[in-house]
Chain A
Amino acid sequence: MKAVGILMLPAGWFLVLAAIVLFPNPALCGAFVLVGFAVEALGLGLTFRSHLIPREEKR
């Protein structure tokens, strides 16, 4: 889960880069940038979750 979360961060960023290059229309570009941002948020959430401490390791 940790690796997936970390990989989703650049995946979202590539969506943002693609939006800049592919969509000259500002509204469409903005929408795709938001989608990329959402993927990053999902990746960040997964990464946080994967770093929660298992109960047996809490001391």
Chain B
Amino acid sequence: MATSKIPELTALACIFFIFLVPFAAAGLTLMNVGLGRSRSAGHMMMASLSALAVAAIAYFAIGFAWQGAIGGPAHVLSFSGKSWNWIAAEPFFFRKLSFDGSATSLTALLQMFSVGLAAVIPLGSGADRWRLRAICLSTAMLAALTYPLFAHWVWGGGWLAQLGINYGIGRGFLDAGGASTIQAVGGLTALAITWILGPRRGKYSADGMAPAIPGHNSVFVLFGCILALVGWIGLNSAGAILFTGGEPSGAALIAINTTLAASAAALTAAFITKVRFGKPDASLTSNGWIGGLVASSASCAFVSPAEAIVIGSIAGTVVTFSIEMLELRLEVDDPGGSISVHAVGAIWGLLALGMFGQFQRPVFNLAGDNLIGLTSGVASGQWLAQLIGVATLLGFVLPLTYVANLVLNRFYPYRVAVEGERQGMDLHELGAGAYPEFVTHTDEFLPR
């Protein structure tokens, strides 16, 4: 969409869709609160609000300058005659950004919400043990460095988007709704955070048992799923318009695909848990729902409704088994299921675009300063472009976020003191519980 103005109707539709995006963050926040313990519920809400605030300011101050927008100034390296656009060179603090309905100004708005959404994802993994100030530090780094760098490569005309133009690999790496830039980056950050924090006290006992620590409010969790659907429809629609040259008229297909993928994923997760445990599990079903939304993000504009159901069903299966494997086999204590839902679900969604993607209309991707409309049809080598994008997430984003958080953890320890964990994050960090009228329980998971 470059830096030029876009038709007024398209801009209006885009603004409407962008305004829905905060619902996705609200939904994830409610889920994280519900899946955590009651004595840390207020802390989780406070942490989410802080993460959204820090992310918005860090992105405004630094992040957008490094992410940029399609067609904006950027640093380019040259390898064997091909240009590799690796980081944007916009001024800091949104300077020189004119708010005139241009695609760039809409991109900045969407990204400010999206980076907040990415920042909320790791909170579910660090629940009940991640300190508030450490959350703010980690979020600032995510919004100022990790997110903008990768988002530039995908959405800012960077080298991943250029793979098609430079090397004839499909249409370059494609991601309409942020499965990679938002979900996978957030999910891999969640993995790094759980590795650094370690499990909650009492989660893994010396006899090899891993007792389930149930969430405290399944109503929050399930309502969060419905809120998230609204946000995701906005996110996928706005992303498809701004980053793949879609028309507002395509929003109906995107909304249908998004809903079908989530529905298929939730039903699959409910079916699997019913077969395995005798009753459907609300927590895993809701994780399946979000996993379906995540998996739909990349391909929502490029697949048929029937294919969206297949993508969602596989997402529901993968997420359900991934949660179990991480918890029981790999000893990764992720109370919110963020790693499985957002990282694993997103990786599946990105690969699914390479497998199922059909391009009925020209799909825009960028090379240099020129917007290229590629021909419609099946993209040869699109699977390879998607695989390269996933390899970049695992080989660049994960080590970067892990090492950067490890360094921050050295200077300001992320994990709360033992006493804080016993007391609950609400009392220890905020001085008051979320439910003051309720009786405070002792920790039933610790040996007496």
From the candidates A9, A20, A29, name the one contacting B394 in the complex (CB within 8 A): A9
Q: Which residues of B contact A26 (CB under 8 A)?
A: 168-169, 380-381, 384
Contact check, A51 vs B195: say whether CB atoms are below 8 A apart: yes
A26-B332 Cα distance, complex, nearest whole Å:
37
- Residue contact A13 to B204, C-beta cutoff 8 Å: no
Q: Tell me if B392 counts as interface (CB < 8 A to partner A).
A: yes
Shortest distance between the CB of A38 and any CB in chain B (Å): 10
Chain A residues positioned under 8 Å from B392 (CB to CB): 13, 16
CA distance A2 to B179 in the complex (A): 28
Kindly identify, within residues 382 to 417 of chain B, every residue whose CB is under 8 Å from any CB belonging to chain A: 384, 387-388, 390-392, 394-396, 398-399, 402-403
The one of A10, A20, A51 in contact with B167, judged by C-beta atoms closer than 8 angstroms, is A20
B388 engages A6 (CB within 8 Å): no
User: In the bound complex, how far is the Cα of B166 from the Cα of A24, in angstroms?
Assistant: 10
A14 to B332, CA, bound (A): 28
Interface string of B342-361 (1 = CB under 8 A from A): 00000000000000000000
A9 with B331: CB separation less than 8 A? no
**Interface Cβ pair total, 8 Å cutoff:** 83
- Categorize the interface residue count of chain B: 20 to 34
Contact with B along A7-42 (1 / 0, CB 8 A): 101111110100011001010011001101100100
Given the contacts A6-B402, A9-B399, A53-B331, A44 and B204 also touching, CB distance less than 8 Å? no
Q: Which of A7, A20, A55 contacts B169 (CB 8 A)?
A: A20
Once the chains bind, are A10 and B395 in contact (CB under 8 Å)? yes
CB pair B399 A10 closer than 8 Å: yes
A47, B79: Cα distance in complex, Å: 32
Report chain A residues within 8 Å CB of B398: 9, 44
Q: A26-B381, A30-B384 are in contact. Are A21 and B79 (CB under 8 A)?
A: yes
A6 lies within 8 A of B403 (CB): yes
B279 at the interface (CB under 8 A from A): no
CA distance A51 to B56 in the complex (A): 32
Q: How far is the CA of A48 from the CA of B195 in the complex (A)?
A: 9
Closest Cβ–Cβ distance, residue A56 to chain B (whole Å): 8
A20-B167, A21-B79, A37-B391 known; A55 vs B384 contact (CB < 8 Å): no
**A10 and B396 within 8 A (CB):** yes
Contact in complex: B395, A13 (CB < 8 Å): yes
The residues of A that contact B390 with a CB separation of less than 8 Å are 37
Q: Are A59 and B206 in contact (CB under 8 A)?
A: yes
B330 interface residue per 8 A CB criterion: yes
Q: Residue of A at shortest CB range from B381?
A: A26
Asked whether, in the complex, the Cβ of A33 is within 8 Å of the Cβ of B205, the reply is no
Contact of A13 among B199, B206, B396 (CB under 8 A): B396
Within 8 Å CB of A29, what residues of B?
167, 169, 384
Tell me if B169 and A16 are in contact (CB < 8 A).
Answer: no
Known contacts A9-B395, A10-B396; A59/B201 CB under 8 A: yes
29 residue pairs bridging A and B, Cβ less than 8 Å apart: A6-B399, A9-B394, A9-B395, A10-B395, A10-B399, A12-B395, A14-B395, A16-B395, A24-B167, A26-B168, A26-B380, A29-B167, A29-B384, A30-B384, A33-B384, A33-B391, A34-B387, A36-B391, A37-B387, A37-B390, A47-B195, A48-B330, A48-B332, A51-B330, A51-B332, A53-B199, A58-B204, A58-B205, A59-B205
Contacts from B to A (Cβ < 8 Å): 79-80, 82, 163, 167-169, 195, 198-199, 201-202, 204-206, 330-332, 380-381, 384, 387-388, 390-392, 394-396, 398-399, 402-403, 447
Given A9-B396, A53-B199: 6 more A-B contacts, CB < 8 Å: A7-B399, A16-B392, A33-B391, A58-B204, A58-B205, A59-B202
Closest 7 CB pairs of A and B: A13-B395, A16-B391, A58-B206, A58-B204, A9-B399, A40-B394, A9-B395
